[in-house]
Amino acid sequence: MLIVNLNQNKSNINYYISSTLLENIENNLKLNKKIILYLNKRWSFSSLICEDCQYYYKCKNCDVSLTVHEREWKLACHLCWASWNTPLSCSKCNWNHLKKIWVWTQQIEDSLRSYFKSPHSVSPIGREAATELWNKKDMILDQKEYSPRYIVELSKKLRKTQTKAKEFLWEILRNRKFNNLKFRRQHPFWRYIADFYCKEINLVIELDWEIHKKTQEYDKIRDEIIEKYNVKILRFQNNDVFNDLKKILKDIREHIPLPMGEARWWQEKVNIFRFDLDSIKNKTEKQKALNNLEEANIIIATKMITTGFDFKNIWLIWIILAEQEFSFPSYNSEEKAYINLKQLIWRWNRLWEKTEIILQTFIPDNEIIKSLSEKNYKTFFIDTLQERKLFNYPPFTEMLTLEYRYKSEQKAYDFMLNLKNKLDLLNTNDFNIEIILNKQSFKKYNQYFIKIILKWDNLRDFILNIKSEIFRNSNLSVIFE
């Protein structure tokens, strides 16, 4: 099993789609093979990690992932509800390269659809450079609006007083004569004017003459400012237009992605389908989804796909973000993550197909990811039990959640506060139960939910003391773990 480090292996289309992933997708599409891009949920809680030392922020009390709350600028534990200020630098290595992790299925789908709609085949400068040019083409503003008026007027005058070399090259570039690209001459960028500019591929062409040998420092500053508009600058000498025109045109072509007509193969070949709760809401949509799955060659799926679905011709399973599995704020999230990933791997391996499994992650040195890739199940089991014992979690204790829901947030909180007070009175020395009231509610189905968490060796006997409250209130749920 291959592990891809997202800190080092990046692409320009999405932070969670590596260049290695794009290469593997294209290779499998050429062989007419299917690819599964896997996320355990269609959305995830936002977590915080350090890109340098790969430190993963967890609760000091519960050993579960902390969730980023941007409005309050806090890191909160959704189990004990302790919170800390979001740090500006890493607590372990003191570097300020902290990254908020938050990915969802539709985000991946939109990025891939956008990528395959644009011409992105390999040009002589390489796929990454060609992709970068096409991705940035829609971000360029009309620079005329931001140029001083006198610069715009000056650019009009310069078009009438061009050098012979510029006139000669303009005859080749104008009216889409060159690779069907629209070039402009004497185009203003703020307080500077570029000789030739193509907005479609963000390329500036400059022809220099003798005076530019004395203004190299000025030209350097000028280029830096123009490049802030996300353009590439090519510089040639005036004499090269007459002495070595073929080389100039070749250099320009090397910075042009393949034209739209040559990229249609990808548009016809790629069929992307997202397989999650949004695509399957009823029986009719389920049948339609099954038909779409047979036709699709890129399947973006959640853990739904690991339960009762078998597809042939799957040659690549790519786990978009391995740590998303255990970023869910629960004490057993790492165990569930391990089970889900193993189930995903075993499901296609048992079909006797040569399915390649690849993990993407920002924390490749994480012990769970290591044990999964190395198939070291025993070590994971022992380490998990030790953590459970240290933080007093099942199976070393019983854990119970009382969850109350109501339309009014204040009434829901008041009810649970009274219930906690009663539990505290019953919690004598004979019991010594850990009781935690979650003061922060969450809203679902137009109702507010408040939780109380209890931990002890024998909660079943203790909970009998509030049996009447449980049976009288249909809005109160009891969850044993």
- Comparing 378 with 133, which gets the higher pLDDT? 378
Q: 3-state DSSP call for residue 35? A: strand
Position 185 scores a pLDDT of 92
Q: What is the pTM of this model?
A: 0.54
**Residue/partner pairs of 471-479 with CB below 8 Å, 24 or more apart:** 473/404, 475/404, 475/405, 475/406, 476/402, 476/403, 476/404, 477/401, 477/402, 477/403, 477/404, 477/405, 478/400, 478/401, 478/402, 478/403, 479/400, 479/401, 479/402, 479/403
In this predicted structure, the answer to whether residue 236 has a pLDDT above a threshold of 70 is: yes
Q: Please state the φ and ψ torsions of residue 311, each to the nearest 5 degrees.
A: -125, 140
Residues 129/143, Cβ–Cβ less than 8 Å: no
Q: 3-state DSSP call for residue 28? A: helix
Pairing state of beta strands 434-437 and 447-456?
antiparallel
Alpha-carbon Rg of the chain, whole angstroms? 30
The string of pLDDT tens digits covering residues 96-121 is 778 777 777 878 888 887 777 644 33
The string of pLDDT tens digits covering residues 284-302 is 777 777 777 777 888 888 8
The string of pLDDT tens digits covering residues 308-348 is 666 667 778 888 887 776 666 677 777 777 777 777 766 66
Nearest CA to 22 out of 157, 118, 86 is that of 118
Give the dihedral of Cα atoms 466, 472, 473, 477; nearest 10 deg. 50
3-state helix, strand, coil in the chain (%, to 5): 40, 20, 35
- Comparing 50 with 1, which gets the higher pLDDT? 50
The string of pLDDT tens digits covering residues 346-386 is 666 655 566 788 888 888 887 778 777 777 777 878 888 88
Distance CA 200, CA 328 (A): 43
Distance CA 65, CA 56 (A): 8
> What residue ranges define each of the domains in the chain, with the CATH number in brackets?
1-42+104-121+258-388 (3.40.50.300), 45-102 (no CATH), 141-256 (3.40.960.10), 398-480 (3.30.70.600)
The string of pLDDT tens digits covering residues 176-235 is 888 778 899 998 876 788 899 988 788 899 998 776 666 777 777 777 777 766 788 898
What number is the average pLDDT over the span 248-263?
Answer: 66
- Identify the band that residue 144 occupies on the pLDDT scale cut at 50, 70 and 90: very low
Residues 111/13, Cβ–Cβ less than 8 Å: yes
Residue with tokens 């989804």: 289
Q: 3-state DSSP call for residue 54? A: coil
